[in-house]
Structure 1
Amino acid sequence: MTDVPASASPRAFVSLIGAGPGDPGLLTLRGMQALQEADVVLFDYLANPDLLRFAPQAETIYVGKKGFSEYISQEQINALLVRKAQEHGGRRVARLKGGDVFVFGRGGEEAEACAHAMVPFEVVPGVSSAIAAPAYAGIPVTHREAARSFAVLTGNTREGGAHYERLSGVDTLVLLMGVRNLDQIAADLIAAGRDPQTPAATVQWGTTPQQRAVTGTLATIADVVRAAGLEAPAVTVVGEVVRLRDTLRWFDTAPGFGGPLAGKTVAVTRTRDGASGLSDRLRARGASVLEVPLIRFAPTARPGELRARLRDLSGVAWLLLSSNQAVSSLFTHLDALGLDARHLAGVRVAAVGPSTARSLAERGVRADFVPATPGARHLGAGLPAGPEEGTLLHLTSQVAEDDLQRALEERGLTYEREELYRTEPAQPDDLSMDRLRGAAVVTLASGSAARHLAALAGTAFRVAAMGPQTADAAREAGFTQVTVAHEATLDALAQAAEAAIQA
């Protein structure tokens, strides 16, 4: 354990969280709560990055270690954990670890580092892959008729010998981190007295859409794994319980498993605090979802001018809202002024599409006009307004396209624009960028996302666009493989992502 300063900040606190084996649904409720409270999240290779959506405002730091190639040493992680907790008078740090904190996760060393530095901490146990991966493969580690005991072993030979001769009375053996050494482990177990014909199974990426499992015997499992091309992360089970897989298989035979996007990574570009409804729809199709925040919303650079305009809406015939964020920001500013939806009485409100209209309805305002085809140009072409009616006030960001303005001014209407919020580029972490480059398709919900993706990672992607306006922005940014959702809904965008992969 590395030496760290023996001084504690009064607000410093560390949550050591078991992230579970891969399925984000297996995170505990306390783990989710601790992530929501975190100022900083340190996460490793086996912690599903999707879980970071529970900490949208936190600083995230990848400290992953994979196989024998260490991105960062354990001593460095210990020191970083303490340092981040003690920064700025004390911060809440979430350490997100794959599986369970104390099952071959070196969580004990991290807890010791906190204790040595007098940093308060908690341990949030997680579902260990040692039991979850076999369970998702239909293999119970115990069974009244087949196994009354089990042992969990590390297969990492660098951690030292496992003393297999001491395990002669244990019915089921579960090996973690052993896929590379499976030949030697099997030989050692047989030499220690284990029957070569004992059933064995190896499960790769257990509990995820990428799960693969093979079966054999202790004498053959290494060859079977090699022939199937299975690699880490994988769990190997040795024991009579493996015979139950044929009867108890459930996950990899379920209707949603092996769906049209099975084994494919779909990148969902969204704001850091955006909803993950699209991700849920993609996972239902079998996809591995990577949520990548490419843009973030910031306050307007002209709050005084904006609020003065909102306070006095005289002469405004229509308010034009072209995004969900515009609706959210509008009501945030009204609240700051001590106003609410009643302030909009006498002003008609137009929404660019059904999603924006729903956001308005949730706040008690029914949109007076929504174009049949979502999009700024369609809003401008179809808005039922005449030149004599007054000003059409567009509340939007500083980077909104000018399609709406052109369409309205071509009709001789009086257009005014106010900066309601700012759209700025976000910088994903290195791990997200690496995974993004390997995505089979990237979803785009706005022109801003298309431009930021092109600037960050180039245009050599298949993209699925939410509507024709976003598709046009993507093409202008240089993307050539563009599939357009047939309507501006999350279901349609998920279908477009599927179509993009199959194209």
Structure 2
Amino acid sequence: MPTESRTQFLPGTVTLVGAGPGDPELLTIKAARAIAAATVLLVDDLVSDGVLEHASPRARIVHVGKRGGCKSTPQAFIEKLMVMAAREGEVVVRLKGGDPFIFGRGGEEVEHLREAGITVQVLNGITAGLAGLTLLGAPLTHRNHAHGVVFITGHAKPGDSGTDWQQLAATARDAKLTLVIYMGVSSATQIQADLLTGLPADTPLAIVQHASLPQQRHAVCTLGTLTATLASEGLGSPSVIVVGDVVRGIAAVAVPSPQQHAA
């Protein structure tokens, strides 16, 4: 039997850990090991308390909130904290909701740490765009309905023109792609209007809020009723919006909600 390779979490290093969508049971084994080994944890807002139960009681936990529409810890300050803690010989874990490399600014943090001479590694987590639809019993790809999937943000960087939604709609229609939109609730009216230039109004759509958590809520509608459904159902951030024929798969099974499981 080959010797099992085990990742080391050493003093003076930083590990970016994907905490997944919220449910602590969706952590990878390696992520749980990293959290347990950390002497300092820098934790995002969207990381659930259950995930932190893996942390050592001796670890220093620093909450560095970053959530759309709320006051956020400046990114430069978070990066400074990571460098300082690593140079002090701490075992640093940067704990991020979902996956660090899918709209988690993990790429920026890795670049900054490397430029500062800090050894950094990344552990993937399950992203909410995948978990959300899976928990409703539908796939993101299906050879009869979707040849691929696009993960895309609905929140443009300040000064950036953002996504060309009209072009994306045409591409999704022609290439049979599923669209998974993160941080799109606040821009839903414009996103809907632009997508309707290339996709039919009856294109199936799902909105999933707080994916995998006990308070998870969702709605299934069509592209033409997106904004009306957000309003009528009272759905807000953090949510993912999934657009495409794969959403029809939700109707094929009866999947209990997390609240029903708890009951």
Please give the residue correspondences for 1:136-155 in structure 2 after superposition, counting only pairs within 5 Å: 136-155=135-154
Indicate the RMSD between aligned Cα atoms, in angstroms.
1.6
- Inter-partner Cα distance in structure 2 for 1:136 and 1:199: 17
Q: Distance in 1 between matches of 2:52 and 2:95?
A: 9
TM-score (normalizing by structure 2): 0.89
Q: Which residue of 1 aligns with 2:181?
A: 175
Mapping for residues 64-213 of structure 1, pairs under 5 Å: 64-87=65-88, 90-158=89-157, 160-164=161-165, 165-166=167-168, 167-168=171-172, 169-191=175-197, 193-213=198-218
Per the TM alignment, residue 49 of structure 1 is displaced from its structure 2 partner at its CA by 2.1
SS state at 2:94 partner:
strand
The match for 2:232 is 227
In the alignment, the residues of structure 2 paired with residue 13 and residue 248 of structure 1 have an alpha-carbon distance, to the nearest angstrom, of: 45
Q: CA offsets per residue over residues 187-237 of structure 1, 9 Å max, x none?
A: 11112x122221111011111111111111111111111110011110101
Alpha-carbon contact 1:200-1:237 (below 8 Å) kept: yes
Taking the aligned partners of 2:49 and 2:116, their CA distance within structure 1 comes to 28
**Distance in 1 (alpha carbons) for counterparts of 2:254 and 2:162:** 33
Structure 1 position 248 matched with structure 2 position 253: yes
Distance in 2 (CA, whole Å) between partners of 1:249 and 1:47 is 28
Structure 2 CA distance for partners of 1:111 and 1:251, relative to 1, 3 Å? farther
**How many residues are matched?**
246
Greater helix content:
1
- CA offsets per residue over residues 233-271 of structure 1, 9 Å max, x none? 10101101111111134241xxxx435xxxxxxxxxxxx
SS of residue matched to 1:11: coil
Report the alpha carbon displacement of residue 170 of structure 1 after superposing the two structures with TM: 4.2
CA–CA distance in structure 2, aligned partners of residues 12 and 62 of structure 1:
20
Please give the secondary structure, in 2, of the residue aligned with 1:65: coil
Residue 139 of structure 1 and its aligned partner are, at CA, apart by: 2.3
Name the % identity: 39
Q: What is the alpha-carbon distance in structure 2 between the residues aligned to residue 75 and residue 31 of structure 1?
A: 24
Tell me, what secondary structure is at the counterpart of 1:172? strand
1:129-175, Cα deviation, whole Å (9 max, x unpaired): 11111111222111122112110110114464212304332421000
Counterparts of 1:271-420 in structure 2 under 5 Å?
A: 285=262
Aligned to 1:4: none
1-structure distance, mates of 2:64, 2:211: 22
Q: Deviations over 1:421-449 (max 9, x none)?
A: xxxxxxxxxxxxxxxxxxxxxxxxxxxxx
**Distance in 2 of aligned mates of 1:258 and 1:68:** 26
Report the CA distance between 1:68 and its aligned residue.
2.7
- Structure 1 residues 243 and 34 mapped into 2: Cα distance closer, same or farther (>3 Å)? same
Distance 1:39 1:171 in 2: 43
Shift of 1:70: 3.2
**2 CA distance for matches of 1:36 and 1:116?**
27
Alignment CA distance shift 1:251-1:20 (3 Å): farther
Distance change >3 Å, CA 161–CA 251, structure 1 → 2: same
Provide structure 2 residue ranges, at least 5 long, that are not aligned to the other structure: 1-9
Distance 1:144 1:113 in 2: 40
Which one scores higher on RCO, CA 8 angstroms, separation ≥ 6? 2
State which structure, 1 or 2, has the greater radius of gyration over its C-alpha atoms.
Answer: 1
Partner SS for 1:141: coil
CA deviation digits over 1:306-328, x for unaligned, max 9? xxxxxxxxxxxxxxxxxxxxxxx
The answer (yes or no) to whether the contact 1:137–1:206 under 8 Å persists in 2 is: no
Structure 1 unaligned runs (5+)?
Answer: 1-9, 260-283, 287-503
Aligned counterpart, 1:294 = none
Structure 1 residues 135 and 160: CA distance shift in structure 2, 3 A: farther
CA distance in 1, matches of 2:40, 2:66: 19
1:62 and 1:184 map into 2 onto residues whose CA distance is: 33
Contact 1:203 1:213 in 2 (8 A): yes
Alignment partners' CA distance in 2, 1:65 and 1:32:
22
Query: Hey, what's the Cα distance between the residues in 2 that align with 1:285 and 1:199?
Result: 28
Mapped to 1, the partners of 2:101 and 2:111 lie a distance apart of: 12
Aligned 8 A contact 2:17 2:122 in 1:
yes
Q: Are residues 181 and 147 of structure 1, via their aligned partners in 2, closer, same or farther at CA, if it must alter by over 3 Å?
A: same
1:33 is aligned to: 33
- Partners of 2:214 and 2:262 within 8 A in 1: no
Q: Distance in 2 between matches of 1:285 and 1:130?
A: 23
